[in-house]
Chains A and B, each alone.
Chain A
């Protein structure tokens, strides 16, 4: 590989880095019990939720920021963050026509058209701008099937009994430092409820947009699939380019009852900072699903390309007999990005099965770690796990780390873990080039071939997107 020619290729600038000029209502920087009360009051929340937040806040005050991940970043000043920002529109509009056109334009620019004429026909979208959900499409059509898809603030008002029953039951407020913080100050996010026996008639999608520069984003997503229900859900995210770091600490909880399934896909493209590591999102996310029912299934697919720091382990607690957990991940780091990501598969129920396929690509001066836990409890008779973690290194300055933890307490279980590290070899590139394929294209073919197993898991509309995204992110990194 010729350093001169390839090194000269200039990275495509982050094309979602613009800022929308819009009036926002913000509360003062800093975090205290009063701030937690204020957020709850602004959202006119019932008492149980305020209690939940306050308990979480007190727990968070007692906790330490975790330091075990292979990540390095300057200390976060939690008092220098704004915990609530919302575009100034009095309340959520009943019709899209009433939404500030600037917001609609923003989502248009992001490729997520919300207006009636332009929106995707088979995907319902909940659009979250800074801390607040501004629009949800196809709500009525979904309601006909009994499917609830709305912002979590709205769900708190409309379906408080469901929120009270499920919120915090998968990720308790004291689960970890960032989950506790989220539980105290979460602003908005999506709520999905698929009633018994219903197969959700369309893809559901939430699009998160951070706009303001000094605001933390703390969404909370809760998806419940009752007996025999199924849903496919996708989240996307972008943020403007700032030379400061924004904190994003989300919590996602999935609950799956007997014979139900949730497929949760993420294409994460937060601003990653520049090539010197200035700016970018600190992404500390707790995602966990509980397969409570027999034969229930949770499948996580993630394509992680953005963020300066990623700390994220979408997990499955496989409680039900014959329950299934899956994790398919592509994590790409370039420049000075750092990612410590993976999954936890906690096998509790008999014959529970899990599959982990993780593909890490490290380029530039980045560091990319896979950290995964497969735990087989004493009652998980006949449990099975298969894990495959492959790393691809591009350039000799990038790091690829693999930390697969295996804990087994059940002899009638089988765990298999395989991992390999590879690079794009000159021979392979030469072979492709000798067949007339350009250098960049050859590289992106090899990378997308490397990620194929994961892309195949994405909903079709997004697989091609993900492929392109990866090619874009890698431009100029091979040399």
Chain B
């Protein structure tokens, strides 16, 4: 499964701590913390990786495709590829460049699906495994008019590696996608998950991304409502402990009127962990009667942990409803007291409240997620 890296590695210190091979793969230098978008994102977990590439197993090979769905070959997928990235202005994003560079250098599974009916549900395990190095996946979903799909992605890693997943999603009028992602890693592993979605009018996207346990996790859902009049529901949950860093940058843009966004992002930071959230909402002039609501709620559980959050609203349309809110706090003392006054021990009460905090997002994952015990994995560690 392990291939030799195509990119030249530096000599000497076995490549660890050296980012040159990553820059070469991406064709661009690593993001610097002087860039606003990377200000709080320390990439040392990434640069510590062994410079080699992992060829992961093809997750589609292991499942039976439901009716209403077909796998596209590389050549039939080609016309679609890149569209969503271009539309969401993310083709030049470093994690996308890395994914493209690595995919070009090393055959990685292209998971391209065309959905043409009510396709039911699908559960894909994208595993980087326990070997050292870089594993890349590329996903393309094309939903035709009126089609629907419920897809659960499970990126995972159990070793000192980085998992790069770039998903491109194109939703035709009336298409409905419930896209869940349940990503669990280890303190040694990195996740770069980029999800670019273009929605046509009348389409519906429910995207729920949950991440926990990664030394470094960077999640970037980017959504364009091409003609407005679509519905986007975004849910995010990141739980970080130890020295983990979880960073979500979301971006939603409405290029037509009457679009709707309902966004909730939650974060739990304990120990020395660091949680970052940046939520951009762009409402240009064409997007009259947009209704967008964004809420960010963070739980800070330790005095060595940090939370950085920044909503970003840019609005040039007068007839819109845009609200956003952010809270950072520890568990509510009145809630804790209420539970304790009923005989529930304080650590158990805290656990109950943390579970409740997480469940509000977890319950929006596709039904298939339940069998993977997300709550236990997120909170059962510690």
Direct contact of A and B (CB under 8 A): yes
Interface size for A (C-beta < 8 A) is: 36
> Once the chains are docked, how many angstroms separate the CA of A423 from the CA of B309?
27
Partner pick for B325 among A396, A418, A422, CB 8 A cutoff:
A418
Other A-B pairs, 20, CB within 8 Å; known A400-B313, A406-B309, A408-B306: A393-B315, A393-B320, A396-B317, A396-B318, A399-B314, A399-B315, A399-B316, A401-B314, A402-B312, A403-B312, A406-B328, A408-B298, A408-B307, A411-B302, A413-B330, A419-B325, A420-B321, A420-B322, A421-B313, A421-B321
Cβ contacts under 8 Å, B330 to chain A: 411-413
Interface contact A423-B308, CB-CB below 8 Å: no
Partner of B318, one of A395, A407, A409, A418: A395
Q: CA–CA, A406 to B317, complex, Å?
A: 26
Q: Complex formed: what's the CA distance from A409 to B306 in Å?
A: 5
Q: Hey, which chain B residues are within 8 Å of A396, CB to CB?
A: 285, 288, 316-319
Q: Which residue of A lies closest to B298 (CB)?
A: A408
A406 and B326 form a contact (CB under 8 A): yes
- With A396-B317, A397-B285 in contact, do A406 and B323 touch (Cβ < 8 Å)? no
Contact A404 B316 (CB under 8 A): no
What is the CA–CA distance of A421 and B289 in the complex, to the nearest angstrom? 12
Q: Mark B277-314, 1 if CB is under 8 A from A, else 0.
A: 00000000100100000000010111111111111111
Tell which of A391, A395, A399, A407 touches B308, judged by Cβ atoms closer than 8 Å. A407
Residues of A within 8 A of B315 (CB): 391, 393, 399-401, 421
Q: Which residues on the A side are within 8 Å of B11 (C-beta)? A: none
The A interface is mostly helix, strand or loop, or mixed, namely strand
Once the chains are docked, how many angstroms separate the CA of A413 from the CA of B332? Answer: 11
Contacts of B300 in A (CB 8 A): 408, 410-411, 413
- 11 examples of A-B residue contacts, CB within 8 angstroms: A396-B288, A400-B313, A404-B326, A406-B308, A408-B298, A408-B308, A408-B328, A409-B307, A411-B305, A420-B322, A423-B318
* B324 interfacial by beta-carbon distance below 8 Å: yes
Of A397, A414, A415, A423, the residue contacting B316 (CB under 8 A) is A397
Which residue in chain B gives the minimum CB-CB distance to A379? B303
On chain B, the residues within 8 Å of A225 by CB distance are none
Query: With a CB–CB cut-off of 8 A, which chain A residues contact B310?
Result: 403-406
Question: CA–CA, A376 to B318, complex, Å?
Answer: 34
Complex CA gap A406/B327 in Å reads 9
Q: Do A394 and B318 have beta carbons less than 8 Å apart?
A: yes
**Closest chain B residue, CB of each to CB of A401:** B314
Count of chain B residues near A, Cβ 8 A: 35
- When distances are taken between beta carbons in the complex, the residues of chain A under 8 Å from B307 are 406-409
Nearest CB of A to B346, in Å:
15
The distance in angstroms between the C-alpha atoms of A70 and B314, with both chains bound, is 10
Binding site for A on B (CB under 8 A): 36, 285, 288, 298, 300-330
A63: min CB distance to chain B, Å: 15
How far does the alpha carbon of A394 sit from the alpha carbon of B314 in the complex, in Å?
Answer: 15
Q: Which residue of A lies closest to B275 (CB)?
A: A408
A376 to B327 CA separation, bound complex (whole angstroms): 13
List residues of A (361-386) whose CB comes within 8 Å of B's CBs. 376, 378
Report chain B residues within 8 Å CB of A398. Answer: 316, 318
Known: A396-B285, A396-B318, A400-B315. A414 touches B329 (CB 8 A): yes
List, in ascending order, chain B residues with CB within 8 A of A397's CB.
285, 316
Distance, CA A412 to CA B302, complexed state (A): 9
The docked-state distance in angstroms from the alpha carbon of A419 to that of B317 is: 16
With an 8 A cutoff between CB atoms, is A417 at the interface?
yes
Task: Determine if A33 is an interface residue (Cβ-Cβ < 8 Å).
Answer: no
Known contacts A410-B303, A411-B301, A411-B305: does B313 contact A419 (CB below 8 Å)?
Answer: yes
Shortest beta-carbon distance from A474 to chain B in Å: 14
Q: How far is the CA of A409 from the CA of B308 in the complex (A)?
A: 9
| Interface set, chain A 47-104, CB cutoff 8 A to B | 68, 70
Chain A residues whose CB sits within 8 angstroms of the CB of B312 once the complex forms: 401-403
User: Chain A: which residue is nearest B315 at the CB level?
Assistant: A400
Rounded to whole angstroms, the CA-CA distance of A410 and B321 in the bound complex is 33
A407 contacts B326, C-beta separation under 8 Å: no
Asked whether A414 lies within 8 Å of B318 as measured between CB atoms, the reply is no
Taking CB atoms and an 8 Å cut-off, the chain A residues in 411-444 that contact chain B are 411-423
CB pair A417 B318 closer than 8 Å: no
